[in-house]
Amino acid sequence: MGSPENIKTLIKRTFIVLGIAFAIIIISFVFHVIQINKFNQQERYYTSDTVSMDVTADIHPRGMLTDSWEKNDAFEDMIINGKIYEAVITNNSKCLLSDWQLRVNIKESCWINNAWNGTVEIHQFVDGQEKSQTIDLRDYNIGDISLDYQLAGQDLLIPLNSGDYIIYWPYTGNDSGEVPLKSTNEYSGQAYIGLILYSISGDNDLSDYVMTYHLNQSYFSGTFGTLFLIIIPAWILIMLVFAVIAWIVIGFESTMYYQSQIIDDMFSICSKLADEKDYYHKDHSNRVAKYAKKIAEAMGMDKQDCNVVYYGALLHNIGNYAVPERILGKSSKLTEEDEKIIQVHTMKGAKLVEDVKSMPQASSATLYHHERFDGTGYPTGKKGEEIPLIARIISVADAYDDISRDREYRKKYTLDEMKTFFKEKSGTWYDPFIIDVFLKIIDSIEE
């Protein structure tokens, strides 16, 4: 670490770096907030023709024994039929669904009698004039209704004709189950609303509808949001740590200088111990991670999945700690007994990383990267798509790194020899789809 003056200089520079880092964090967070706000402010639409898994709306007859009936006291010479219709709004987005409304365009003449879990904005077109009113059909004063209507006994009947429409507005109280509509990783939020319609036939075509809504994502959800939750407290902690260190250094320069020498020596010893057994696998794992990520990118996987493949590949040989050094450092070809011993590293590695909750795929990467597509690999003999995708990718990258390097007992393969090797092993050792992708990028994979 050097002299006390050098220590002071280092601390000063560190504070400058931390200051710059803080500015970058703030700018990044502001950009993140802008992106989230854009996402949250976007008005979205759902119709009966929309193909969406995030938010769905479905209007259908309730379908129970009491969902329809006849009414003979509305008109002297005509019987009308009542039916209960239910609409189910489902939020699978893992975001908050808010500001939503459901517009239903009337295609055939009918009468609306009731609606629940919200209010209904009714639009009538009578003699070329539009009448509209928002009514809670479960709690209203008949004298306040400005729309055309009639009473059949105690039942309110508001006529609707083709071209009229209704807009359902969900309740917005604190105890409402409709607004906002929550969704998490554990469950999809759902809201149920209902209408009672009367018509001559008893069947009403309600397929012409559109739901407008907003999705609201938290600033601290998702990968970037979680990252900010980690980085900002970490930055504060680092600042506090360095502030304490600076105070100690200023007050006890000589002691800190002596202690720094001890710390340097300890790190030097730890570094040598770490490299003592890892003379090969560190560089190997880094290269395999780089190749595996390039394969994943060429397969069209998204950035997050490519990173999962990369970090899984970095850990794929972590179980080598359980393999004797005499085998790892062997320059000649491994014997059958050596192969059996070295196979243990897959299970040991998987056991070591099985509790890594941030990346559960790490266990699959370490356990299955020596499985073969035809089921002749180890340790479980899985085959085909039973083998996790991450392991199938890593096995190709692992093989490429092996045959593209000189060994004591053989020379590295030429590019043509490598292409021939992978073509021959496609469908037996390796996933043929991954091999097809890999062969398209093999010429440039080292770049």
The per-residue pLDDT for 278 is 47
Whether the per-residue pLDDT at 196 is higher than 60: the answer is yes
How crowded is residue 242: how many other Cβ atoms within 10 Å of its Cβ? 17
Whether the per-residue pLDDT at 277 is higher than 70: the answer is no
pLDDT, one tens digit per residue, over 381-415 is 999 999 999 999 999 999 998 898 877 777 889 99
The per-residue pLDDT for 282 is 54
Cα gap 409→223, rounded to integer Å: 46
Judge if 417 and 287 occupy the same domain: yes
The per-residue pLDDT for 260 is 45
Structure-token pair, residue 44? 């979205």
The residue segments making up the domain with residue 305 are 278-444
For the chain, count helices (H), then strands (E): 12, 13
231, 251, 271: which is the final residue of a domain? 271
The per-residue pLDDT for 432 is 96
Judge if 238 and 305 occupy the same domain: no
Whether the per-residue pLDDT at 272 is higher than 70: the answer is no
Under the banding of pLDDT at 50, 70 and 90, the label for residue 209 is very high
Judge if 414 and 321 occupy the same domain: yes
pLDDT, one tens digit per residue, over 153-170 is 888 999 999 999 999 998
**370, 346 in Cβ contact below 8 A?**
yes
Instruction: Decide if 217 is inside a domain.
Output: no
Judge if 301 and 406 occupy the same domain: yes
Q: Which of 15-29, 126-140, 292-306 has the lowest mean pLDDT?
A: 15-29
Judge if 284 and 314 occupy the same domain: yes
Mean of the per-residue pLDDT values for the chain? 84
Whether the per-residue pLDDT at 421 is higher than 90: the answer is yes
pLDDT, one tens digit per residue, over 303-331 is 889 988 988 888 888 777 777 777 776 66
Cα gap 205→437, rounded to integer Å: 50
271, 289, 304: which is the final residue of a domain? 271
Judge if 263 and 360 occupy the same domain: no
Judge if 261 and 304 occupy the same domain: no
pLDDT, one tens digit per residue, over 62-73 is 887 778 999 888
Instruction: Decide if 252 is inside a domain.
Output: yes
The per-residue pLDDT for 316 is 83
Q: Which of 102-116, 242-256, 286-300 has the lowest mean pLDDT?
A: 242-256
Closest by CA to 311, choosing from 353, 360, 362, 355, is: 362
Structure-token pair, residue 392? 């199938």
Q: Average pLDDT, stretch 112-123?
A: 93
Q: Average pLDDT, stretch 276-297?
A: 76
What would the DSSP string read from start to end of 202-227? S------EEEEEEEE--TT-HHHHHH
**110, 127 in Cβ contact below 8 A?**
no
Measure the CA dihedral 11/14/20/24, to 10°: -140
Q: Average pLDDT, stretch 66-89?
A: 90
pLDDT, one tens digit per residue, over 123-147 is 999 888 999 999 999 989 999 999 9
Judge if 186 and 260 occupy the same domain: no
Instruction: Decide if 214 is inside a domain.
Output: no
The per-residue pLDDT for 220 is 83
Judge if 59 and 184 occupy the same domain: yes
Q: Which helix (H) or strand (E) holds 16?
A: helix 4-41
Instruction: Decide if 194 is inside a domain.
Output: yes
3-state secondary structure 345-372: HHHHHHHHHCCCCCCCHHHHHHHHCCCC
Under the banding of pLDDT at 50, 70 and 90, the label for residue 187 is low
Judge if 295 and 190 occupy the same domain: no
Q: Which of 65-74, 176-185, 353-362 has the lowest mean pLDDT?
A: 176-185
The per-residue pLDDT for 313 is 85
Structure-token pair, residue 319? 């179980």
Instruction: Decide if 215 is inside a domain.
Output: no
Please, what's the b/e burial string for 361-370 (b: 16 or more CB within 10 A of its CB; e: otherwise)? bbbbbbbbbb
Instruction: Decide if 216 is inside a domain.
Output: no
Judge if 111 and 240 occupy the same domain: no
- The count of structural domains within the chain is 3
Q: What is the CATH number of the domain that holds 371?
A: 1.10.3210.10
Most confident residue range from 120-124, 230-234, 242-246:
120-124
248, 271, 294: which is the final residue of a domain? 271
Task: For residue 247, give the 3-state DSSP assignment.
Answer: helix
pTM confidence score: 0.48
Distances (CA, A) of 91 to 170, 179, 213, 336: 15, 11, 11, 56
pLDDT, one tens digit per residue, over 27-47 is 888 998 999 999 999 999 999
At position 385, the amino acid (one-letter code) is: E
Instruction: Decide if 405 is inside a domain.
Output: yes
Judge if 175 and 53 occupy the same domain: yes
Q: What percent of the chain has pLDDT over 70?
A: 86
The per-residue pLDDT for 325 is 75
